Structure 1
Amino acid sequence: MPLDFVRAHTVPAPVPFVPEILLRQAEEPIALWEATESGGTPQPPPFWAFAWAGGQALARHVLDEPDLVAGRSVLDLATGSGLVAVAAARAGAHPVTANDIDPFSLAAALANAEANGVQVEAVEGDLLDTDDKYGVILAGDVFYSREMAGRVLPFLRRAAGRGSLVLVGDPGRAYLPDGLIQRAVYDVPVNEELESVPVRRTTVWQVTAGR
């Protein structure tokens, strides 16, 4: 079961840049990565077990500026651990939807929501060809590959064109697009085993409907 696997390979700990949120995180990142790959059935990488820089920056941003999300519907796209969804719910967003294609991610998101005393709805599947309306769409660290960026950006631009506030958190990934509006910049502590550095300069950007 995904939830059992998540609980077996993570421990609850405060998020470095968002210490008011408790998140189930891997103590041994490389060991978890190997356990995921050797499980027999192919699984996506365990992005759900870490507090990535983009998600930490977005979480910090919405907690510091709760009026961005309070009382509004929020989609946390490619939620990973659910950190951003939890922060949005803590800031007063409702309803909050955590979306991912990985069932282990959604198990982690629901476990983390419960640990922080907030309500989050988990939706599994690829939403990038849909046009549902949310008041706010939040996406942390989604521009890490050309393929992902090429699919995510049109979805985010369409959402902005329908009137959604669309914010992304990005620590300078290779496929970050041009033409975004800078909202905030943070120096975010990260897992050095994964990122090769202890801190990443991370920006919260707003996506508009432009080309």
Structure 2
Amino acid sequence: MIGNLDEERISNDRRLQKLLVDPFWGYLWPGSYALHKHVQQHGDSTIKGRNVLDFASGCGLSAITASRLGPVEVLANDIDDFAIAAVEVNSALNGVEPGRIGLTAENLCANGTVVKELFKDPSLPLTILCGDVFYDTDFAAVVMEWLAKQDGAEIYVGDPGRHALPRSGELEEVAEYDLPPLLRDTNNGMTSVKCFRYRSV
């Protein structure tokens, strides 16, 4: 796909530079793996009959897993257009029916979006999945402020214990999962990852 691109165009196109340098959406991150495992095991209570948002979706694993567990509607969100394209491609490769996962590149945090209003039936119960979002302390504060506005939502966070993970009481650990060998090798030897449930304090 990349081999035939004009080198001069690449050097002057920030979007193409972003595509070629360590794209975050090209990897499976440990937090997404934790959410994938957790909803697989608890789909009846976390996904079935609910609206589901995969926030900061990346490659789309959480959305793809959720789409198979009986949700009413699934929406994958990422502000990176390439990530949105990756979710679409990965969904097709994994046999997800076209259109089963909705896609949006809206900056939900910056816009103060109330997530339930994104869905066709906002009265349905809502689950929000947040994988690997606490990589920066400033962004972590923005995310936590936004999550606090999502009244009534079931919110799950997947994180391996990064420095920016909030420790002020809102995140309750609900599970820990061993990482498979490939994820250990690509994440500096991390051996496990945790799933947390958000709660207001």
TM-score normalized by the length of structure 2:
0.79
**Equivalent position to 2:188, from 179, 187, 196:** 196
Q: Distance in 1 between matches of 2:42 and 2:12?
A: 41
- Give the Å deviation of 1:147: 2.0
Alignment of 1:7-26 (within 5 A): none
Provide closer, same or farther for how the CA distance between residues 63 and 191 of structure 1 changes in structure 2, counting only shifts above 3 A.
closer
- Give the Å deviation of 1:40: 2.8
SS in 1 for 2:174: strand
Q: Distance in 2 between matches of 1:38 and 1:192?
A: 33
Q: Distance in 2 between matches of 1:49 and 1:39?
A: 22
Provide closer, same or farther for how the CA distance between residues 39 and 120 of structure 1 changes in structure 2, counting only shifts above 3 A.
farther
SS in 1 for 2:89: helix
**Equivalent position to 1:69, from 47, 56, 59:** 47
- Structure 1, unmatched stretches of 5+, are 9-36
Residue 47 (str. 1) matches residue 24 (str. 2): yes
**Equivalent position to 1:89, from 40, 62, 67:** 67
Residue 98 (str. 1) matches residue 79 (str. 2): no
Residue 174 (str. 1) matches residue 163 (str. 2): yes
Contact 1:63/1:90 (<8 A) preserved: no
SS in 2 for 1:97: strand
Contact 1:157/1:207 (<8 A) preserved: no
Counterpart position of 2:131:
140
Q: Distance in 2 between matches of 1:62 and 1:114?
A: 20
Counterpart position of 1:130:
113
Provide closer, same or farther for how the CA distance between residues 120 and 39 of structure 1 changes in structure 2, counting only shifts above 3 A.
farther
SS in 1 for 2:164: coil
SS in 1 for 2:36: helix
Provide closer, same or farther for how the CA distance between residues 209 and 191 of structure 1 changes in structure 2, counting only shifts above 3 A.
same
SS in 2 for 1:158: coil
Q: Distance in 1 between matches of 2:148 and 2:197?
A: 10
Provide closer, same or farther for how the CA distance between residues 110 and 41 of structure 1 changes in structure 2, counting only shifts above 3 A.
same
Q: Distance in 1 between matches of 2:11 and 2:162?
A: 28
Counterpart position of 1:207:
198
Contact 2:172/2:198 (<8 A) preserved: yes
RMSD over aligned CA atoms reads: 2.2
Q: Distance in 1 between matches of 2:34 and 2:142?
A: 22
Question: Percent identical across equivalent pairs?
Answer: 37
TM-score normalized by the length of structure 1:
0.76
